[in-house]
Structure 1
Amino acid sequence: MKIVKLLGAATAFGIAFAGAATADQLADIRKAGVIRVATDMGVPPYGMMSPSLQPVGSDVDTANLLAESLGVKLELVPVTGANRIPFLLTDKADVVISSFSMNAEREKVIDFSRPYGKIQIVIAGPASEKVKSFNDLAGKRVVVTRGTTADSGLTEGAPKAEIVRFDDDATLVTAVTSGQADLAANTPSVIKTINERRSNDPLEIKFLINVFPYAIGLRKGESELKDYLDGWVADNLANGKLNTIYKTWHGADLPDMND
């Protein structure tokens, strides 16, 4: 399923939901004393379950920091890459913090905060796969996570590839590590996770599909909440808290947002 189809459905959700949208969601969150944050727990190291079955990762820590700043409790809402927008538009979550990359199609139906990071989308495969461009993927089996920017980029760039879609990154990682596929379209962090389990035949990055800034997703028309989130991102980039979270989980500093 192409991301365009997902967004078409999300648009329908948005139209149906528009009349029920709150006038000031920020005030409602503070009144309720809780913020519902949609996060994908199958995207390590952004979101995952610890051995003790506790949610951890850079998205989880970012959500905790936001709740702490608002003075409210955090309620994590598990989602997949494909249903982040529908969950937001049907009021199952207040915001999305889930390595949520910004693109023009998504911005037709939702708003984003100021970006606070960047995410690369790459094609990766073992050394035996001589792949340097989309053209080289013709006839090859490539796995991707459904409804993501990797999915849309691969679908558009390699229409002759045999594309196999999984509902979350965790399932994709299992498929590649178990030998069901060798080529994957995803982020370097997911490729790193694959290689930790596939050390005998690791994947290498073949080429870059695109680079997207990522941000906090919210419903359109929530100007008070958007202003708060924009200021919150700016403050926590400046004081280094978002960088500390990112470095803890990714082992490197956040990319320069001015590049």
Structure 2
Amino acid sequence: MNKRSLLIRSAIASAALLAFGAGTAHADLLKDIRDAKKIRIALDTGSPPYGFVDANMKAVGSDVETAHLLAQDLGVAIEVVQTTSPNRIPFLQTGKADIVVASLSVTPEREKVVDFSVPYAQILAVVAGPKGVQINGFDDLKGKRVATTRGSNNDKVVTTGAKDAQIVRYDDDATLVTAAVSGQADIIATSPAIVSTVLAKAPQKDMVTKFTMSTVPLGIGLRKNEPELKAWLNDWITKNTANGKLPAIYKKYHGN
């Protein structure tokens, strides 16, 4: 074998080793977070009582408090990344956030593109409307104007179930609440917490839950292929569910 052939074979072998190494290399986001001493958590502060701004202009809510507890137990600072329902998944995919704690329901469609922790809470998807209007199921929404939050699980469920309804979408829960309070939206597809928020702001609306569309678990969202971070999150949720901390946070803001 001449010198030129030996050099070519050596170069090919080196390239193959580099390619193999690149293919098998694994980024460890949990280690990166610990090294940076900071975790970027996407939170939706326009989705009461999961996240909202109180009278003192402080971000509060069940997800906000959960996120702060998580960062504290991980031993790092928290960097809040403001998000909305439509942006939760894209913020993960583009690396703008390390994790999402923003009433993100676990669905088969979302599991195709991101990973989820074990559930840390449950959420009901309901349809609510004026007490005097008879609505017992999706069929009763035919021809009616139904408002929901764009990109939410409520949006998906009501769009699938009420094919003959006129679906009106708002960009976040806060805007949906404003629409319901102002009379722009009489029938809403949302969560029980949002119904309570509407009633607190406008009790004269006499809005009641008509029926439950679905019950789904809420998980912490993270990018695919981060087994160390996912394992830490699952262990953290399991421990803090067993010791009562996570249920207490949920009860504090949701009342059940």
- What is aligned with 1:31? 35
- What is aligned with 1:248? 252
Taking the TM superposition and a 5 Å limit, the aligned residue runs for 1:57-206 are: 57-206=61-210
- What is aligned with 1:236? 240
TM-score (norm 2): 0.89
- Contact 2:124–2:215 under 8 Å retained in 1: yes
Q: Which has the larger radius of gyration?
A: 2
Equivalent residues, number: 233
- Secondary structure, aligned partner of 2:237: helix
Q: In structure 2, list runs of 5 or more residues that go unmatched.
A: 1-22
In the TM superposition, residue 143 of structure 1 has moved relative to its aligned partner by 0.3
- Contact 2:121–2:250 under 8 Å retained in 1: no
Residues 140-184 of structure 1, C-alpha deviation per residue, up to 9 Å, x if partnerless? Answer: 111000001100111111111111000000000000100112100
Counterpart of 1:54 (choices 47, 53, 58) is 58
In structure 2, what residue type is equivalent to 1:105?
A: E
Q: Which runs of 4+ in 1 moved over 2 A?
A: none
TM-score (norm 1): 0.88
Greater share of residues in helix? 2
In the TM superposition, residue 22 of structure 1 has moved relative to its aligned partner by 6.6
Work out the CA distance in 2 between the residues paired with 1:250 and 1:185: 18
Work out the CA distance in 1 between the residues paired with 2:71 and 2:144: 44
Work out the CA distance in 1 between the residues paired with 2:26 and 2:204: 53
Identity %: 52
In the TM superposition, residue 217 of structure 1 has moved relative to its aligned partner by 0.4
In structure 2, what residue type is equivalent to 1:147?
A: G
Mean Cα displacement is larger for which, 211-220 or 238-247?
238-247
Work out the CA distance in 2 between the residues paired with 1:245 and 1:155: 31
In structure 2, what residue type is equivalent to 1:127?
A: K
In structure 2, what residue type is equivalent to 1:115?
A: P
